[in-house]
């Protein structure tokens, strides 16, 4: 049975065979423009609502919903039909709301510093599982409008290219988000970057670089042995030339590993000819990687060095550290003991980790809220991050 957001218009039309043709458009608009469950599409007859609800089940079941940063960051751990777990993070800013989505359950890229990489690969997500993360976050963001989508959650998006690209088409054409507000990240899958360069929609590309010499990058990012830096640099240049879109380099700062002056100089040499923007964020702690993130003073020094070399650089505030918001951390195991509000949910039963007053989410689940400490910006933060939740763990 197709899940609700895996079903295309043709599938919906087949389900509604025998009904007036305008019903297909009504139901499609209900799902994508009005973000409704079929049960709430009051412009459809009751029997039709019930049938759509039964025959187009949701793909994501809430296992954990965590809220931090004074309500500005919401992270979900979802269960899929086969028991796989994925994560999604919604981040509110003064001028926008961004969702960070997963593209795979687990990841095969095996970056040692990343909680998702440590857990290994389970499977690719379907287009519907990707799109539903965006729809559920868009509903949660109401009355604000979800404006940005970043593919920086669990998994390597370009290793699941076809489904991710079909999801981008739905997000752009049906949910109505501009392609310029969609960002695909990659650890450096060169053939995927080339496919992206030839694709129809001008999305942004974020390359998770983390090292600008092959020796260090081979250690941090195993895929670098297959696509070394020079091949990656050339693919980035082709992407920028073909798309005219912005390129960014993501750099998780790891203490005494990639945060030295020489690292900044190597990074500048790579970034400047490509006019790449650099996003810095200190590495989040993960269970299987002992080296900590760079301390705030080191982040500030690294940022100053890059700027002095002429690189446009932003230090990203690490959202949701109190709720294990870096990708793969909820799925990797029980959340660390911390005072942020965390709820474990099932459709029928809720186990709370706190004792504060209850509230009801838009999806009808009961949650509990506790006060949350705000996270501390690392060093010279210039702007709250549009896509920070994943960076420290990718
Ligand atoms: S950093 Fe990204 S590509 Fe590497 S293992 Fe983690 S999710 Fe996969």
- Residue of the CA atom closest to atom 5 of ligand 1: 117
- Does any ligand 1 atom lie closer than 6 A to the CB of residue 394? yes
The residues carrying an active-site annotation are 87, 327
Q: 121: closest CA among 104, 106, 102, 110?
A: 106
The reported pLDDT for the residue numbered 331 is 59
Question: CB under 8 Å to 296, separation ≥6 — which residues?
Answer: 282, 376, 378, 379
| Number of residues that this document lists for the chain | 394
CA of 15 to the centre of ligand 1 (A): 39
Structural contact between residues 5 and 135, judged by C-beta atoms closer than 8 angstroms: yes
pLDDT in tens, 362-383: 222 222 222 222 322 333 333 3
**What φ, ψ does residue 94 adopt, rounded to 5°?**
-60, -40
If you measure from the C-alpha of residue 132 to the centroid of ligand 1, how many angstroms do you get, rounded to a whole number? 22
Domains of the chain: which residue ranges? 9-55, 61-391
C-alpha–C-alpha distance, residues 392 and 158, integer Å:
19
The DSSP 8-state label assigned to residue 284 in this structure reads: P
Q: Is the CB of 189 under 6 A from ligand 1?
A: no
Cis peptide before 143 (omega within 30 of 0): yes
Whether ligand 1 lies within 6 angstroms of the CB of 170 is answered as: no
Per-residue pLDDT of the chain (394 residues; tens, 9 = 90+): 789 999 999 999 999 999 999 999 999 999 999 999 999 999 999 999 999 999 999 999 999 999 999 999 999 999 999 999 999 999 999 999 999 999 999 999 999 999 999 999 999 999 999 999 999 999 999 999 999 999 999 999 999 999 999 999 999 999 999 999 999 999 999 999 999 999 999 999 999 999 999 999 999 999 999 999 999 999 999 999 999 988 999 999 999 999 999 999 999 999 999 999 999 999 988 888 999 999 999 999 999 999 999 999 999 977 655 555 455 555 555 433 333 344 333 322 222 222 222 222 222 222 222 222 232 233 333 333 333 334 433 4
At the topology level of CATH, where does 61-391 sit?
TIM Barrel (3.20.20)
389 exposure class (CB count in 10 Å sphere: 0-12, 13-18, 19+):
buried
Residue-wise burial string across 340-353, b where 16 or more C-beta atoms lie within 10 A, e elsewhere: bbbbbbeeeebebe
The residue nearest atom 7 of ligand 1, judged by CA position, is 155
Q: What is the pLDDT of residue 246?
A: 83
CA 53 centroid distance within chain: 27
Cα–Cα distance for residue pair 118/96, rounded to 1 Å:
32
**How many angstroms separate the alpha carbon of residue 164 from the centre of ligand 1?**
16
Q: Which atom of ligand 1 is nearest to the CA of 115?
A: 6
Q: Tell which one of 101, 105, 117 to mutate to probe ligand 1, the residue whose CB is within 8 A of the most ligand atoms.
A: 117
Is the CB–ligand 1 distance for residue 250 below 6 Å? no
Q: How far is the CA of 129 from the centre of ligand 1 (A)?
A: 19
Task: Note the pLDDT of residue 319.
Answer: 67
CB of 114 sitting under 6 A from ligand 1:
yes
Q: CA-to-CA distance for 261 and 31, rounded, in angstroms?
A: 51
With a 6 Å cutoff on the Cβ, whether 367 touches ligand 1 is no
Task: Say if CB 336 and CB 285 are below 8 A apart.
Answer: no
pLDDT of residue 285: 83
Q: Describe the strand order of the beta sheet including 85-92 as a list of residue ranges.
A: 313-315, 277-282, 247-253, 204-208, 182-186, 148-151, 97-100, 85-92, 73-79, 61-68, 341-345, 350-352
Report the pLDDT value the prediction gives residue 365, as an integer from 0 to 100: 25
Report the atom number in ligand 1 closest to the C-alpha of 116: 6
Q: In this structure, which residue's CA is closest to atom 4 in ligand 1?
A: 111
For helices 261-274 and 296-308, the axis angle rounded to 10 degrees is 40
Rounded CA-CA distance 379/172 in Å is 35
Backbone dihedral angles phi then psi of residue 378, each to the nearest 5 degrees:
-80, 110
Q: Is 111 in the pocket of ligand 1 (CB under 6 A)?
A: yes
Closest-lying ligand 1 atom to the alpha carbon of residue 393: 1
Measure the CA dihedral 24/26/31/37, to 10°.
-110
Nearest of 181, 192, 183, 86 to residue 132 by alpha carbon: 86
Quote the tokens at residue 51.
């049938």
Assess whether the C-beta atom of 187 lies below 6 angstroms from ligand 1: yes
- Helices 190-197 and 229-243 pack at an angle, to 10 degrees, of 10
């Amino acid at each position: 049975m197709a899940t609700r957001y895996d079903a295309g218009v043709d599938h919906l039309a087949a389900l509604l065979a025998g009904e007036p043709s305008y019903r297909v458009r009504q139901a499609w608009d209900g799902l994508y423009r009005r973000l409704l469950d079929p049960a709430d599409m009051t412009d459809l007859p009751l029997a039709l609502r019930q049938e759509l609800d039964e025959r187009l089940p949701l793909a994501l079941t809430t296992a954990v919903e965590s809220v931090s940063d004074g309500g500005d960051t919401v992270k979900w751990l979802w269960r899929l039909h086969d028991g796989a777990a994925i994560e999604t993070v919604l981040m509110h800013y003064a001028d926008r709301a961004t969702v960070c989505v997963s593209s795979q359950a687990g990841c095969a890229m095996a970056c040692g510093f990343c909680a998702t990489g440590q857990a290994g690969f389970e499977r690719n997500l379907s287009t519907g599982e990707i799109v539903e993360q965006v729809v559920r976050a868009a509903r949660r963001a109401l009355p604000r409008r979800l404006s940005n989508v970043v593919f920086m959650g669990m998994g390597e998006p370009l290793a699941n290219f076809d489904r991710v690209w079909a999801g981008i088409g739905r997000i752009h054409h049906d949910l109505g988000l501009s392609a310029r507000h969609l960002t695909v990240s990659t650890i450096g899958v060169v053939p995927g970057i080339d496919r992206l360069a030839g694709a129809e929609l001008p999305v942004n590309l974020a390359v998770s670089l983390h090292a600008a010499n092959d020796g260090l990058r081979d250690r941090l990012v195993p895929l670098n042995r297959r696509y070394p830096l020079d091949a990656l640099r050339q693919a980035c240049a082709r992407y920028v030339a073909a798309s005219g879109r912005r390129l960014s380099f993501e750099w998780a700062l790891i203490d005494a590993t990639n945060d030295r002056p020489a690292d900044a100089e190597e990074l500048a040499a790579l970034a400047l000819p490509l006019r790449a923007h650099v996003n810095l964020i200190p590495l989040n702690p993960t269970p299987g990687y002992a080296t900590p993130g760079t301390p705030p003073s080191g982040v500030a020094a690294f940022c100053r060095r890059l700027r002095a070399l002429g690189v446009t650089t932003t230090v990203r505030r690490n959202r949701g550290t109190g709720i294990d918001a870096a990708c793969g951390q909820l799925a990797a195991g029980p959340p660390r003991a911390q005072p942020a509000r965390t709820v474990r949910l099932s459709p029928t039963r809720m186990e709370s980790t706190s004792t504060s007053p209850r509230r009801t989410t838009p999806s009808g689940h009961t949650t509990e809220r506790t006060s949350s400490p705000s996270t501390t910006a690392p060093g010279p933060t210039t702007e709250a991050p549009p896509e920070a939740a994943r960076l420290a763990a990718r």
